[in-house]
Amino acid sequence: MVVGDFSKEAETIVIGSGPGGYVAAIRAAQLGQKVIIIEKENIGGVCLNVGCIPSKALISAGKDFSKTKQDNPFGITYGETTIDFKQLQTWKRDKVVATLTKGVQALLGKNKVQIVKGEAYFTGPNSLHVMQEEGSMGETYSFKNCIVATGSRPIEIPTFKFNDNVLDSTGLLNLEEQPKSLIIIGGGYIGMELAGAYQNLGTEVTVLEGAERVLAGFEKDLVKPVVKKLEEKGMKIITNAKASGYTEANGLVAVSYEVDGKTETISAEKVAVVVGRRPNTDELSLELAGVEVGERGLIPVNEVGQTNVPHIYAIGDIVAGPALAHKASYEAKIAAEAISGVPGVAVDYQVIPTVCFTSPEIATVGMTVNDAKEKGIDVNKATFRFPANGRALSMNESEGFVRLVSDKATGRLLGAQLVGPEVSELIGEITLAIENLLTAEDLVLTIHNHPSLSETFMDAAEVLLGQGIHQ
């Protein structure tokens, strides 16, 4: 399938249409290149179709539904509330996902990017073959430059082969019927986001995590209020638990796991294995193009995304660094501009924000105190808690805090760690501040609207400077 003017030659071919691929294609086209983008599944990639966007749709619906089941101080009494899970999934698929994917396809068309549907394999350093239909001969395409943006896929472990009842994250997001009970193996950010979403929708959820705590990528004090709230709602979180296998009987999946040297078993209608993702570099025949692939399937690249073959670039989940959609989009623009000859471009990972859409949300950017100490930087830190913020109190969502880290010598902001209401939206302000080398004093001198959650940055910065008003 080909969308747009048909051609088998391009200045730049982009493989993959996720947040890295489609951004690269559009930016390259804006800069005057003739671009072909190849996608074997759905335009928009994992993020738009079976990842970031649909998961947030379920999370938002779950939060709204959960509120009707909880006591509140507002004097509001809800009647009997139910959820039509099939309707929720239809809304997620047809209104949220479809709107965005159609929008991306329209943007590609607007920028005269030729879309080819099929699976790409390199046949040489300047050519690739695309299989468009099963049993077809496919087509061969040639290029001057290529950007590989094939993303990643869920890891399948040998003792938990995926089927109708043992799911990966994609399967869990696309269930047609809501399970009454669910076991999630893996307590990383994807596992905990989906665990919280299904719990809020009314599913009984158990999380098995092999490490000593869930959300191990975040500092302990950020995770504590999240775990506390989940457990208060009835979620069972079992850590130091090594899942070993499962059996199926009577409509249930029984999972065996070892904890403290003992083998235990727990059963649920569905099991989801969310233990990480693997880069999609193993089925591209990269060796025929001469592209080197490093450890864990990642492709080594330089500061503009070039591989060891200078006209072939790689971005997103298939290169080193966090597997985040916004990182891929950033790298995409750099690669497209480098190919187009824009002078002075290079990736500059000054700060990359990370967000976990749990309840409360977690967001971090830049250095922690420990990060700074490891680099030999003497720092100041200040914490401002949401219970002292008027907007958070008026929302009845006052769990959590904002912590700022600054260079003691210069006052320059180095990092921030947040847990609390809507911190996924707040993190942008402090990311901008760190990226532009601002200081705590710059935050204090910036007038923040009142009442607002963002005032917590100004309040924390005042504490950093020894001028705390509200704490």
Question: Which residue positions form the known binding site for NAD(+)?
Answer: 186-193, 209, 276
234, 204 contact by CB (below 8 A): yes
Rounded Cα–Cα distance for residues 175 and 66 (Å): 19
- 326, 448, 450, 470: the catalytic one is 450
Q: Name the binding residues.
A: 56, 150-152, 186-193, 209, 276, 317
Q: How many Å apart are CA 69 and CA 382, to the nearest integer?
A: 36
Which pairs from 242-245 meet CB under 8 Å and 24+ separation?
242/210, 243/159, 243/160, 243/185, 243/208, 243/210, 244/159, 245/159, 245/160
Residue 314 pairs in a beta bridge with 148
Beta strands in 162-268 (DSSP E): 166-167, 181-185, 204-208, 236-238, 242-249, 252-259, 262-268
Assigned token pair, 450 = 């009142």
Mapping DSSP to helix (H, G, I), strand (E, B) and coil, where does residue 237 land? strand
Whether 448 is catalytic is no
CA 394 to mean position of chain CA atoms: 30
Contacts of residue 55, Cβ cutoff 8 Å, sequence gap at least 6: 169, 173, 190, 193, 194, 197, 357
Alpha carbons 434 and 119: distance in angstroms, whole number: 41
**Helix (H) or strand (E) run with residue 10 in it:** strand 9-15
Annotated binding site for FAD: 56, 150-152, 317
Q: Measure the CA–CA gap between 23 and 333, rounded to whole angstroms.
A: 7
Do the Cβ atoms of 327 and 321 come closer than 8 Å? Answer: yes
**Dihedral over Cα of 53, 57, 58, 59: its sign:** positive
Matching residue, tokens 């051609």 = 7
Cite the active site residues.
450
